[in-house]
Amino acid sequence: MKNIFKSELTLSQNGFLFDHGSGLTYTLNPTGQFIFKNIEEGKQAPGILRLLINEFDVSEETARKDIDDFFRQLSEAGLID
Amino acid sequence: MGINIGITGLHAADNPAPGIGVIRSLRHPDGWDGKIVGLGYDVMDTGIYDDGLLDDVYLIPYPNQGFDAIFERLAYIHSQVRLDVIIPTLDSELALYQSLEPRLKEIGISLFLPSPESTKNVSKAYIDEFCQEIGIPSPKTFVVKTPSQLDEGFKEIGFPLMVKGIFYEAYHCENKLDALSYFDKIKLKWGLPIILQKVIKAEEFDICCVGSRDGDLLGSVPIRKTRLTDKGKAWAAITIKNPELDKLSKKIIKGLKWAGPCELEILQEKKTNKYYLLEVNPRFPAWIYLCTGAEQNLPKLVVDLALGKDVKPMPCAKSGMTFVRHATDLVCPIEHIEHLTTLGELHYTKSGKEE
């Protein structure tokens, strides 16, 4: 999966995300950090879904909603197209 | 023998001048062995009393005292401490130093300044025209030379608009009543012309640049301001890495054939993501020390340029470096103020005491 982010992003161990292109910062919760790291590693949404269910012991419905919400927020923040 | 540098703009209160940031950059520990000579306008220029920052301080006449008075004072200072380079840091000094440059060069003081032509192109009255020439978007502007042109300007720009003084001050106006009131206020303080400018809903980025005079961009540090004072001055900011801003900076510096430091104010329209050049400030910004923290010591680069050294474009600045401005109280004995008041000069030893 190619890099989908519009500019260089750095996520700290504590979930602090810095957008090098705009100078804006965001705070990600553990779910957001987990999804972000997997996107960075090049995983696709279906793969992330399975990993999220295993990691956080949540239903498929909850995991799918979390992933959709996260992608929507990335888009609203202008971090992805 | 070290290189001695004279720096102006030492007052750093609620609207800080760039001089202190320039000096801190020159003091940055990588082999500086010359003296830093503060050129102040007033005994209460705050940076004079920052222990360890300056080697010598001299008061100089304000630019409106006339070119000869300032030249004579600088020549006297040069005879006392040998000034190799002067870095003027205030907008209001630029024309003065451009005019004095040949005379200062003759006595051994070097400067590195933009040409009067470049400076004219970035004045608020001409920048729109310059942007059109080099194909860079800028907010639509109307220059009001007489009050009778106001209605035509309001009609052409439309509301909301900015009413801006030719040198300082800018006000956001939602309607004609506001605009007339601010027009009168600015006219009384700064005179005509006054600029009417279209308001663009945008994010602002600022870039400190140094140009080579041939149109090369030798250094540039883009930032986003993250905290502003009620006067709109940066109180915190972060360095960024943005290829679009880099391309824009190169194009602007090339178009201007800019020599020395400047600060570009860039808007990115929220709706379209399009970039606009809002203003070019013909000097270092007050936040210049952030550039040094981001691994581009631009004041040192300007000193090298002034000395005629062969310099290469600097590597990309480090993004994610941030500053927070911090107000503090400087304490000094009354003798410091006494020396400056009576003699117009003050000399520090390495222990921080006056000599």
pLDDT tens string B33-64: 789 999 999 999 999 999 889 999 999 999 88
Per-residue pLDDT at A3 = 73
Per-residue pLDDT at A32 = 97
- At CB < 8 A and 24+ separation, what contacts does A58-63 make? none
Indicate if B201-324 has the same CATH topology as B140-198: no
Q: Is the model's pLDDT at A1 over the cut of 60?
A: no
Per-residue pLDDT at B332 = 93
Instruction: Give the best residue of B242, B244, B290 to mutate against chain A (max A CB count within 10 A).
Output: B242
In chain A, the residue whose alpha carbon lies closest to the alpha carbon of B322 is A23
CB contact under 8 A, B242 and A18: no
Per-residue pLDDT at B232 = 81
- Return d(Cα B144, Cα B125) in angstroms, integer: 9
Nearest CA distance, B71 vs chain A (angstrom): 43
Confirm whether A65 is domain-assigned: yes
CB contact under 8 A, B240 and A10: no
Q: Is the peptide bond before B285 cis (omega within 30 degrees of 0)?
A: no
In chain A, the residue whose alpha carbon lies closest to the alpha carbon of B320 is A20
What are the structure tokens assigned to A38, written together?
A: 């997997």
Contact B257, B215 (CB under 8 A): yes
Distance of CA B179 to the CA centre of its chain: 28
pLDDT tens across A30-63, in order? 999 999 999 999 999 899 999 999 999 999 999 9
- Return d(Cα A47, Cα A28) in angstroms, integer: 20
| Percent with pLDDT over 70 in chain A | 98
B interface residues, A as partner, C-beta within 8 Å: 203, 205, 223-224, 226, 237-242, 319-320
The verdict on A12 touching B (C-beta cutoff 8 Å) is no
Which amino acid does the sequence have at B262?
Answer: C
Low-confidence ranges of chain B (pLDDT < 70): 1, 30-32, 350-355
Nearest CA distance, A5 vs chain B (angstrom): 13
Helices (H) and strands (E) in chain A, counts: 3, 3
- Return d(Cα A19, Cα A44) in angstroms, integer: 22
Contact B297, B21 (CB under 8 A): no
What are the structure tokens assigned to B243, written together?
A: 């290829």
Secondary structure percentages of chain B, helix, strand, coil, to 5: 35, 25, 40
Note the ipTM here.
0.85
Label residue A37 exposed, middle or buried (CB < 10 Å: 0-12, 13-18, 19+): middle
Angle made by CA atoms B84, B87, B93, in degrees to the nearest 5: 125
- Which residue in A8, A18, A23 is closest to B223 by CB distance? A23
Structural domain boundaries enclosing A43: 30-81
Q: Is the peptide bond before A46 cis (omega within 30 degrees of 0)?
A: no
DSSP state of B47: G
Q: Residue A6: list chain B partners with CB under 8 A.
A: none
CB contact under 8 A, A20 and B226: no
Per the listing, tokens 């400030």 go with B281
- Return d(Cα B258, Cα B118) in angstroms, integer: 6
Per-residue pLDDT at B55 = 95
Confirm whether A51 is domain-assigned: yes
How many domains are there within chain A?
Answer: 1
Instruction: Give the best residue of A5, A7, A26 to mutate against chain B (max B CB count within 10 A).
Output: A7
Q: What is the count of residue pairs from A and B with beta carbons less than 8 Å apart?
A: 27
Give domain limits for chain B.
5-111+328-347, 140-198, 201-324
- Return d(Cα B301, Cα B289) in angstroms, integer: 13
Per-residue pLDDT at B298 = 97
Contact B46, B330 (CB under 8 A): yes
Nearest CA distance, B227 vs chain A (angstrom): 12
Confirm whether A76 is domain-assigned: yes
What are the structure tokens assigned to B76, written together?
A: 């006297």
Confirm whether A17 is domain-assigned: no
Average pLDDT over residues A14-33: 96
Helices A60-76 and A45-56, axial angle in degrees (round to 10): 120
What average pLDDT does the structure give for chain A? Answer: 93
Top CATH class of B5-111+328-347 equals: alpha beta
The domain B140-198 is placed in CATH, from the list 2.60.40.10, 3.30.1490.20, 1.10.8.420, 1.10.1760.20, at: 3.30.1490.20
Top CATH class of B201-324 equals: alpha beta
CB contact under 8 A, B320 and A22: no
Q: Residue A8: list chain B partners with CB under 8 A.
A: 241, 319
Per the listing, tokens 């308001």 go with B199
Sign of the torsion angle spanned by Cα atoms B345, B350, B351, B355: negative
